[in-house]
Structure 1
């Protein structure tokens, strides 16, 4: 039987950050995949560089920023001022939609501005029953129904009344009527990530930097924890490995993690209240550049198009062939024909003018992210906090986007791990 002070479940950015910054190096990381990184991994195929999904970085935490600065040379990174667009009714307009309605056809612009100005009095409310009610209340009927509702339904693959009004937290680009009007002459500046950095070799560069400080004897790849006994403090893996621990640090999806505890069924009711979506990602490499030469990523609200977002690696890395990702939102239990979705994707890329008829697809890779976006519900938050307090009595801690079941960035997940190490180090 192996023993460790800290049993870390998951070698994504949260788990790796914890291992780097914890002072007591008596830890063991168990990761079910064959390589670390979680969804922050990169595929190198046929000369193309693709991440598992679009990851763009803008570190604001000094400790994290300095950590990577000491490990990654500046010439290994590219720095970009973000250029994001919306493909809408034959137009390409600036994102976010609500701040750029003046770029629409005149009749649609008037509809949006009129409904925004005369939106229901509830627009001044601070508390709404759901994400959808917040959209109508803050932005009116036209902006909501032309973009915000259809786009987010495609993204989350659910009824938006299921989501909390703050489902996207600080990541939602709010804009009141004054900001909308000011933007007729001035570029919108309400985005949390107006600029970003990106490694020339993909997001895996950050994972490699985190992995450098990990003793190879302290990370188990291709294996997963299948049961945990909190009385004996022993975890068992799918390969019958037993690990005696003092603390568990979990970054794996909370809905899966809570099902690991032997003899404890009290968490099942909470697990059944959690919801999420999947995202099917197609990474595509074409023979030549697209006519879209300046956009970094774009949003597609139309329900006639199967994907909700596309991104252009070649425009970020200034490469000479179209290299892109396409994201398709699916409900948690939805089953689809991936080959049919790829065929439909190629048809729709041509329909949008992103790919020419003679631009041959040379290479592609498919990823299914499950879970991808967790559905945030504030009504569950109090229960979740009570559950976390109960787990901590047993020396069990959760962190990160999936471990803590929240909407957050990669850096936020690292900050979770950093805060936890500071607690233990103190």
Structure 2
């Protein structure tokens, strides 16, 4: 847990509870710990020791597959406000729509900000919700840089906490003979990030970690800023999230997914929760 989770969560671990762990931290025994420390073994453990990945199209092909059966999907409609008295959503393009029940997957604090006339207790709880953001640097390289899927870096001398190689998820994730790297850097108000310098620092650290070579030619680069990437389960998490969820449910809003439910969960959880909520509403 230390120092990796200090690096990922960006706050002293004493401020957090263990409520988030669940399947994400595999149970172990003293014998397994000793065996791992003293022998050259690499047994696969954890919830993601085995996983499925689309052969073509990247993970984006997963949500795209759902859209094939939808006839009333409205993209490029950004919510401007929510009126719970009128049960009405207003969009920034000036369109409005009425609803009976709303299922939200947007970050819980953002949803609360959009609602008109929120009780002060709910507003205060929302403002106190904590999270870690992630700056994700993606690079295309003129060679296959590794045969690994991903590697964790708990050491504080490296800027990133994890790097991965999506060309090993599927051979169609990179051109023949080429490779791809993603590097993830956690940041928050407690651990600020200089985004103007981070890409250069990540490249230096990839060379230091012997992942990149100085003579490597970078074919592509893309940076993604992911706010609210990880929810922080602080000492008052249950109380604050419980208060907000109760208020939303009383007003016909159901929340799902990592961001909507404000929890540590994955894509499979969001898909399943959406299915459950839809079936419940249609009863």
User: What TM-score, normalized by structure 2, do the two folds share?
Assistant: 0.89
Aligned length: 275
Write out per-residue CA displacement over residues 322-359 of structure 1, whole angstroms, 9 at most, x where no aligned residue.
21101000115765443421111111111111111211
Which residue of the other structure, out of 277, 286, 303, is the alignment partner of 2:132?
A: 277
Contact 2:133/2:226 (8 A) holds in 1: yes
CA distance in 1, matches of 2:148, 2:53: 15
How far 1:396 moved relative to its partner?
1.3
Task: Give the match for residue 181 of structure 2.
Answer: 324
* Matches for 1:66-145 after TM superposition, within 5 Å: none
Distance 1:399 1:345, change over 3 A: same
How far 1:383 moved relative to its partner?
4.3
* Matches for 1:214-225 after TM superposition, within 5 Å: 214-215=70-71, 218-225=72-79
* Matches for 1:147-186 after TM superposition, within 5 Å: 148-181=1-34, 184=39
CA distance in 1, matches of 2:82, 2:167: 45
- What is the DSSP-based 3-state SS (H/G/I as helix, E as strand, rest coil) of the residue aligned with 1:328? strand
CA distance in 2, matches of 1:251, 1:219: 15
Contact 2:135/2:223 (8 A) holds in 1: yes
- What is the DSSP-based 3-state SS (H/G/I as helix, E as strand, rest coil) of the residue aligned with 1:219? coil
- What is the DSSP-based 3-state SS (H/G/I as helix, E as strand, rest coil) of the residue aligned with 2:236? helix
Distance 1:334 1:233, change over 3 A: same
Contact 2:135/2:226 (8 A) holds in 1: yes
Contact 1:167/1:377 (8 A) holds in 2: no
Larger of the two Rg values belongs to structure: 1
Check if 1:208 corresponds to 2:61.
no
* Matches for 1:273-422 after TM superposition, within 5 Å: 273-290=128-145, 292=146, 294-318=147-171, 319-332=176-189, 336-377=193-234, 379-422=236-279
Of 403-412 and 186-195, deviating more is 186-195
CA distance in 2, matches of 1:160, 1:356: 35
Which residue of the other structure, out of 108, 113, 118, is the alignment partner of 1:259?
A: 113
Q: RMSD in angstroms over aligned alpha carbons?
A: 2.1
CA distance in 2, matches of 1:307, 1:182: 28
Write out per-residue CA displacement over residues 21-64 of structure 1, whole angstroms, 9 at most, x where no aligned residue.
xxxxxxxxxxxxxxxxxxxxxxxxxxxxxxxxxxxxxxxxxxxx
How far 1:157 moved relative to its partner?
1.8
User: What TM-score, normalized by structure 1, do the two folds share?
Assistant: 0.61
CA distance in 1, matches of 2:57, 2:119: 45
- What is the DSSP-based 3-state SS (H/G/I as helix, E as strand, rest coil) of the residue aligned with 1:195? coil
Gaps of 5+ in 1: 1-147
Gaps of 5+ in 2: none
Contact 1:296/1:312 (8 A) holds in 2: yes
CA distance in 1, matches of 2:137, 2:44: 30
Check if 1:250 corresponds to 2:250.
no
Distance 1:356 1:387, change over 3 A: closer
CA distance in 2, matches of 1:393, 1:340: 46
Contact 1:169/1:407 (8 A) holds in 2: no
Distance 1:250 1:333, change over 3 A: farther
CA distance in 2, matches of 1:353, 1:186: 22
CA distance in 1, matches of 2:129, 2:10: 15
How far 1:363 moved relative to its partner?
0.9
Write out per-residue CA displacement over residues 60-102 of structure 1, whole angstroms, 9 at most, x where no aligned residue.
xxxxxxxxxxxxxxxxxxxxxxxxxxxxxxxxxxxxxxxxxxx
Write out per-residue CA displacement over residues 2-21 of structure 1, whole angstroms, 9 at most, x where no aligned residue.
xxxxxxxxxxxxxxxxxxxx
Contact 1:287/1:362 (8 A) holds in 2: yes
CA distance in 1, matches of 2:189, 2:30: 36
